[in-house]
Amino acid sequence: MWAVVDEIATRRPWKEEQRKYFHLAAARLHERIDQAVADFDSATYLELQQKLQVARDSLNSPTYSRFLSEYNDVLEKINDETREFQFAKSRGDEAYYFYKKSLREGHEDVGEKRKLEENEAQMATHQAAIQRLEVSRDFLFETVNAYRLNLKSVQNEIADLHKNIEKWEIKLRRINHASIEIKQVMMLDYDRNPFGDPKARVDRCQTCHLGWNDDFMEDAPQPFAQHPLPELLQLHNPEKFGCTPCHRGQGPALTAGFAHGDGDHYWENPLLQGKEVFASCNECHEHQSSLGFADEFTKAKRLVIESGCHGCHEIKGYTDLPKIGPELTRIGHKTRADWIFRWLKNPKEYNPHTRMPNFLLTDEQAEAVTAYLVDVSRNDQFSYPTGLYAGGEVRRGKQVVETVGCLACHVVGDETKVREIRGTSYDIAPELTRVGSKVGPDWAYDWVRNPRHYNPTTKMPSLRLTDQEAKDVVSYLMSLKDERRHEQKALDVSSAAVIKRGESVIREFGCNGCHVIRGFEKEGRVSVALSNFGRKKVEEMDFGDTDVPHTWHDWVYNKLKNSRVFQTDRIIQKMPVFSFTGEEITLLRMFLLAETKDEPDAQYVHTFDRKQRNIEAGRRVAIMYNCQQCHQLEKDGAYIGALLDDPAFLPPIITGEGKKVQEPWLHSFLKNPTQVGQPNSIRPWILTRMPTFQFTEDEINKLTKYFLGLGNQELELRDYTAYRPDPLLLPVGKEIFTDFQCLKCHPAGNVVVTPGEGSTADLAPNLTKSRDRLKPEWIVEWLADPGKLQEGTRMPTFWPDGQSPLPDVLGGDAQKQMMAVRDHLISIGQPPRPVVTSR
């Protein structure tokens, strides 16, 4: 008996789980049916029943019968006339043949000609009769069909009343008739065996997780709950993909411990817990740094890039990224040896939010590295003018720094709002709170005037400061001093032996991973590759003398929290100490968990097509230059908004630029942006300046294709100058433009706005350059529904749902009216283009 019990129940706990699910699901469905019945609108139902009876009675009325009889009679007459028409046509074709034959034989058969004419006359008579009958048929059909449609409409309304009840009843019937059985998904060729041959993956998770697709199990306990992201399952159907590709675990197993993997000590792919489930996205989406449903994993990927992990570790997909640290070839021209020494000893002592980790160098090591860097700088021919900084004013310099956009990237003093809203423990550009004790005024003046003079590869852009603005900014920066007292250490930075030792220390710790340093151009990465770290076994991890629990997760967490935690007197570790927050450590651990060499079969992997490649390449350029510090891009960014009192002064949202602006204009703008304050600048009231980044042609091309990809556009050779406004629409467009009072918000032509002028409620982009800037088709699409193209825009919708507010203009045709406004915009402040005529 016990053998039977063991066979039926003990060894098959999933059967009891299914019984529990069916019981719970039935109870919940009964509740929903009862609620739907309680919500049923009986009064409306009775009213509709009366309408239904009236509609049915109308189908039995003499009037309907008469119309139906007339309709059928007309159909018969049409058939009769059509038949007679075909007979006449056949006889006419015969007469036509013999008549033409007689002509070819040299004589005209008058009899056949007469037959042809008679039959053509009969055809015309029948055709006219058919046309008259078809008019009657159409009228009678509409009349008869109106009775039928009325009945159908009432029936549909009654069905809609019952729809909610029937939906739950259908699901209840499915539950009541369901059988207890193993639910299995077979993913053919998903995996590879040790020899690289394809093999299937078996997935039985749905045997217990029966409610994954049931909307009435949303708040049910596990394992019966609905999947928390049902919209994600529309892209990753579990009936095809199964569950383990995303959640991991042991697919064929049917008991919780073994199925989840935590009950099998030897199973290497246990169930991913919590947010770490997004780590599995990397198997199919490793080339994408931004994933729509995996915000946490997107943050993790960006954290890896911004922390410079790729500088020391080889990571698949990250091998071609630029170094995140500044070039150090000329560091001796920028600051003093004693500052370099203190920085190397503890970067966070000077800047608590720097990305630079602490290598815990000894005094001797820090002195040696300082000596090497000073020596490299000494041998560099770089120089900058001196004495040009004089004549600045601190107050004006502070105002420039606070208005032109410096604080989007740099923190000064207690102004930390951008850092806080960005949500990272580190700054993406150096904090300037103590910069006056770090650099001299001559270097600072040269730097703010032209950052590329000192460092040709810097990400720091030019804000096109005037000489006076640069002097004022330098005066302000020089006032930001480090008032703390520091122990002065005598440094030997000239000794050849010390310099040589510095070269060894740099090579040992891999400083060249983040910095360009002369003499280390060909050096490789100094640490282990991470491309399969997610499969690293606990047995391969050294826990040193610590009491850290021996698990993969605990080792990684503690290693990232304190990279030297597992160091012993015999095992020296060189990874520097970062200052990641607990959340950042969790994100990085998620990323490392995703780093495996698992490669599903191509049919399961997201297609990384040309468009996706273009988007990803441009996205990395945007990340490198920190575009999101000022601009909202892909629903993220605009961090500078934390410093602005009014969103009207925010730099524009640029996600839709590819669909909006002409490619030649975008190229020119990225190459040399218009300075704020010029009469024809787009948003002259915004004091924040679009910097000159000195992008390379390759970077501009990547950004252009990126924006085009986001707008679902293709890069194409297009002559925008060939577009000519319709001369008939131009005066109408101007009239509409005036009637809608567009100039109340938009400067255009001779109407200009200066920085800081005007009400924030009445500020909109300058339209003067519309012809050379905006795509003609985009203007019409924008006018039709601005909110659809840019969520939250203040631009009103003048043609809601395609309806015209001007019925007397262009026949009330909304599309033509918008085209007329478009043509007027293109002509504002512009000389007419010559009409090109062909010879």
Residue 132 identity: R
* pLDDT value at residue 110: 85
Query: Are 626 and 677 part of one and the same domain?
Result: yes
pLDDT value at position 675? 46
Give CA–CA dist 105/414, Å, rounded: 109
Report which DSSP code applies to 774.
B
How many CA atoms lie less than 13 Å away from 552 in the CB half-sphere? 16
Per-residue model confidence as pLDDT tens digits over 270-297: 999 999 999 999 988 988 888 888 999 9
Alpha helices for 191-243 (secondary structure H): 230-233, 238-241
Is the pLDDT confidence value at 611 over 60?
yes
CB atoms inside a 10 Å sphere around CB 44: 13
Is 145 a domain residue?
A: yes
Among residues 427, 415, 430, 434, the alpha carbon closest in space to that of 477 is found at 434
Give the domain extent around 759. Answer: 721-827
Q: Which of 652, 682, 715 delimits the end of a domain?
A: 715
Shared domain for 355 and 486, answered yes or no, is yes
| Residue 215 near residue 226, CB atoms below 8 Å | yes
Question: Which pLDDT does position 598 carry in this prediction?
Answer: 86
Q: How far is 270 from 264, CA to CA, in rounded Å? A: 9
- The answer to whether residue 24 is domain-embedded is no
Tokens of 133: 């009958």
Which residues are within 8 A (CB) of 764 and not within 5 positions of it... i.e. 6 or more apart? 745, 746, 794, 795
Report how far apart the first and last C-alpha atoms of the chain are (Å, whole number). Answer: 102
Average pLDDT of the chain to the nearest whole number: 91
Give yes or no: residues 472 and 589 share one domain: no
Residues 470 and 351 in one domain: yes
Q: Is the torsion defined by CA of 392, 398, 404, 406 positive or negative?
A: positive
Q: Closest Cα to residue 410, out of 360, 465, 473, 323?
A: 473
Residues 439 and 488 both lie in one domain: yes
Q: Greatest CA separation found in the chain?
A: 130
pLDDT on residue 455? 94
Q: Could you tell me the pLDDT band of residue 532, with boundaries at 50, 70 and 90? A: very high
User: Does residue 178 belong to any structural domain of this protein?
Assistant: no
Q: How far is CA 421 from the centre of its chain?
A: 20
Which pLDDT belongs to residue 238? 93
Question: Is 170 inside any structural domain?
Answer: no
490 shares a domain with 355: yes
Please determine, for residue 839, whether its predicted confidence score (pLDDT) is greater than 80: no
* Of 769, 775, 520, nearest in space to 660 by CA: 775
Q: Is residue 545 part of a domain?
A: yes
Query: Residue 802 pLDDT more than 50?
Result: yes
Q: Please, which pLDDT band fits residue 836 given cuts at 50, 70 and 90?
A: very low
pLDDT on residue 362:
96
Question: How would you classify the pairing of strands 632-633 and 185-192?
Answer: unpaired
**Are residue 480 and residue 351 in the same domain, yes or no?**
yes
Long-range Cβ pairs for the range 304-311 (8 Å, 24+): 304/588, 304/591, 305/620, 305/623, 306/355, 306/424, 306/426, 306/428, 306/623, 307/355, 307/426, 307/578, 307/580, 307/588, 308/355, 308/513, 308/514, 309/530, 309/588, 311/510, 311/513, 311/514, 311/525
* DSSP annotation string for 403-426: HTTGGGT--BTTB-HHHHHHT-SS
Cβ-based neighbour number of residue 163 at 10 Å: 11
Q: Which helix (H) or strand (E) holds 157?
A: helix 110-176
820 shares its domain with 739: yes
Q: Does residue 309 sit in the same domain as residue 418?
A: no
Residues 520 and 506 sit within 8 Å (Cβ to Cβ): yes
Q: Is 354 exposed, middle or buried (0-12, 13-18, 19+ CB in 10 A)?
A: middle
CA distance readout (Å), 231 to 237, 292, 296, 340, 604: 10, 11, 17, 53, 18
Do 703 and 728 lie in a common domain? no
Mean pLDDT of 105-121: 89
Task: For residue 406, count other CB atoms closer than 10 A to its CB.
Answer: 21
Question: What is the per-residue pLDDT across 451-496, written as a single tens digit (0 to 9) for each?
Answer: 999 999 999 999 999 999 999 999 999 999 999 988 888 999 999 9
- For 132, the token pair is 């008259």
Q: CA of 727: how far to CAs of 315, 720, 733, 824, 829, in Å?
A: 59, 18, 10, 10, 16
Going by the DSSP 8-state scheme, the letter that residue 206 receives in this structure is G
**Residues 743, 751: Cα–Cα separation, whole Å:** 8
Count up the domains in the chain and report the number: 6
Q: To 5 degrees, how large is the angle CA 718–CA 721–CA 724?
A: 115
Q: Are residues 440 and 394 located together in one domain of the fold?
A: yes
Amino acid at 323: K
Reference 243, options 175, 300, 190; nearest CA is 190
DSSP-H helix ranges across 234-310: 238-241, 244-247, 256-260, 282-285, 295-307
**Which CATH number do you get for residue 754?**
1.10.760.10
CA dist 576 and 339 (Å) reads 20
**Residue 483 CA neighbour count, 13 Å, CB half:** 4
The model's confidence at residue 748, banded by pLDDT at 50, 70 and 90, is: confident
For 676, left (φ over 0), alpha (ψ -120 to 50), or beta? Answer: beta
What is the C-alpha to C-alpha distance for residues 367 and 498, in angstroms, rounded to an integer?
8
CA nearest neighbour of 282 among 597, 709, 617? 597
Q: What is the structure's pLDDT at 744?
A: 86
Residue 608 pLDDT class (50, 70, 90 cuts):
confident
The predicted-structure confidence for 122-174, as pLDDT tens digits, reads as follows: 999 999 999 999 999 999 999 999 999 999 999 999 888 888 899 999 999 99
Please report whether residue 510 resides in a domain.
no
Write down the pLDDT at residue 679: 44
Which tokens is 234 given?
A: 């529309």
Residue of 105 and 508 predicted with greater confidence: 508
Does residue 725 sit in the same domain as residue 750?
A: yes
Point out the domain boundary residue: 667, 700, 715.
715
**In 3-state terms, what secondary structure has residue 632?**
strand
What integer is the mean pLDDT of 553-574? 94
Rounded CA-CA distance 654/661 in Å is 10
pLDDT of residue 758 exceeding 60: no
Q: Find out whether 560 and 580 touch, Cβ atoms under 8 Å.
A: yes
Rounded-to-integer distance, Cα 655 and Cα 715, Å:
16
Residue 94 lies in a domain: yes
Q: What confidence score (pLDDT) does residue 756 get?
A: 47
Helix spans in 631-710 (H): 657-660, 663-671, 697-710
372 pLDDT more than 70 = yes
pLDDT at 677: 41
Rounded distance, CA 353 to CA 432, Å? 11
Instruction: Evaluate whether 375 touches 500 at the Cβ level (below 8 Å).
Output: no
Share of the chain above pLDDT 90, in %: 73
Q: Is residue 290 part of a domain?
A: no
Q: Do 313 and 529 form a contact (C-beta atoms < 8 A)?
A: yes
